[in-house]
């Protein structure tokens, strides 16, 4: 039986990183430094004390309000911290310890930041994707496992082809749809392809489109949203990427009638 202690440590570390991700989500699209100044209340600009900045716990003890001005703090802050911590635990559970574990944790964190920035501003920052592409190509070529082939490295061919397919496919869609696909989505999928390979690009695209369609229909029927209402695609691609990362092999095996991919 595996010890639960490593998972607790990883969860705590993930929640701390999640607190930093909240800073990134708020400041990057506003072109603010993610380092200085220290965290502050967005309502009264009071510096947040270290004991009020404990992930998840401080939010609960403060009742979701600023200690100084009593303004309500968005539930998104503990949510991001919890999601990032949970993603790190999932990576450890699925892939074990190794250098690839660090890369996948960073990948999950990048997708979380992309998701919430895209929801708020309908942009995907180049700062994340253009940094993620070379890192993905390097680690995908020499370090990361193939999500679809058991006990096999992704390799430089699959990583480079994934980068080209991810960026090229979405660039073609953008050209054919005359702006229906944003440049941020193109660069995001180039990054996903570099990290996970070309097969993951296809599965991510399918899953993201499927989930996005379901959510879009739901909003049209229950929320009265029109067909021309813009819905950011990044969050659906991010969710599709995570599903592919953790369950790509099982989904492909299911599609092939239960055949194990080796």
**Rg (the chain; Cα; Å):** 19
Please say if the pLDDT value at position 1 is more than 60: no
Q: Is 226 helix (H, G, I), strand (E, B) or coil?
A: coil
pLDDT per position as a tens digit, 130-172: 999 999 999 999 999 998 987 789 999 999 999 999 999 999 9
**DSSP-assigned letters across all residues of 120-167:** HHS---HHHHHHHHHHHHHHHHHTPBPSSSTT-B-HHHHHHHHHHHHH
d(CA 92, CA 89): 5
Look over the chain and give the mean of its residue pLDDT values, rounded to a whole number: 90
Please say if the pLDDT value at position 262 is more than 60: no
Residue 26, pLDDT score = 93
Residue 230, pLDDT score = 75
Residue 35, pLDDT score = 87
d(CA 228, CA 83): 31
d(CA 27, CA 36): 10
According to DSSP, the residues that pair with 153 across neighbouring strands are 145
Residue 164, pLDDT score = 97
d(CA 16, CA 208): 28
245: which 2 tokens? 């990362």
**What's the CA angle centered on 76, arms 72 and 82, to 5 degrees?**
125
Residue 32: phi and psi, rounded to 5, are -105, 155
Interhelix angle 183-196/126-142, rounded to 10 degrees, is 20
**What's the CA angle centered on 234, arms 255 and 79, to 5 degrees?**
100
pLDDT per position as a tens digit, 34-68: 888 888 888 888 888 888 888 999 999 989 998 88
pLDDT per position as a tens digit, 204-256: 999 999 999 998 888 888 766 656 667 889 999 999 999 999 999 889 888 77
Residue 4, pLDDT score = 92
Please say if the pLDDT value at position 261 is more than 60: no
Average confidence (pLDDT) over 8-31:
95
Residue 200, pLDDT score = 95
Note the pTM of the prediction, 2 decimals: 0.92
d(CA 55, CA 199): 36
Average confidence (pLDDT) over 8-17:
97
d(CA 131, CA 160): 15
The residues near 168 (Cβ < 8 Å, ≥ 6 apart) are none
């Amino acid at each position: 039986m595996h010890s639960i202690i490593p998972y607790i440590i990883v969860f705590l570390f993930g929640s701390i990183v999640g607190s930093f991700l909240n800073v990134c989500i708020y400041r990057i699209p506003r072109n603010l430094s993610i380092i200085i100044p220290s965290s502050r209340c967005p309502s009264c600009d009071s510096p947040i004390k270290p004991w009020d900045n404990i992930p998840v716990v401080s939010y609960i003890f403060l009742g979701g309000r600023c200690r100084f001005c009593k303004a309500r703090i968005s539930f998104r802050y503990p949510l991001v911290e919890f999601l990032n911590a949970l993603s790190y635990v999932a990576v450890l559970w699925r892939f074990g310890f190794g250098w690839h574990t660090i890369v996948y944790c960073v990948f999950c964190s990048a997708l979380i930041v992309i998701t919430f920035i895209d929801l708020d501003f309908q942009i995907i920052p180049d700062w994340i994707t253009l940094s993620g592409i070379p890192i993905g190509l390097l680690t995908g070529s020499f370090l990361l496992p193939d999500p679809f082939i058991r006990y096999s490295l992704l390799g430089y061919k699959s990583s480079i082809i994934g980068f080209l397919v991810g960026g090229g496919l979405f660039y073609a869609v953008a050209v054919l749809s005359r702006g229906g696909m944003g440049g941020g989505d193109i660069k995001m999928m180039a990054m996903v392809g570099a990290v996970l390979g070309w097969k993951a690009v296809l599965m991510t695209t399918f899953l993201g489109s499927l989930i996005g369609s379901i959510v879009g229909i739901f909003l049209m029927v229950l929320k009265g949203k029109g067909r021309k209402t813009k819905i950011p695609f990044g969050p659906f691609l991010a969710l599709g990427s995570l599903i592919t990362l953790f369950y790509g092999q099982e989904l492909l095996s299911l599609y092939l009638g239960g055949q194990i991919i080796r």
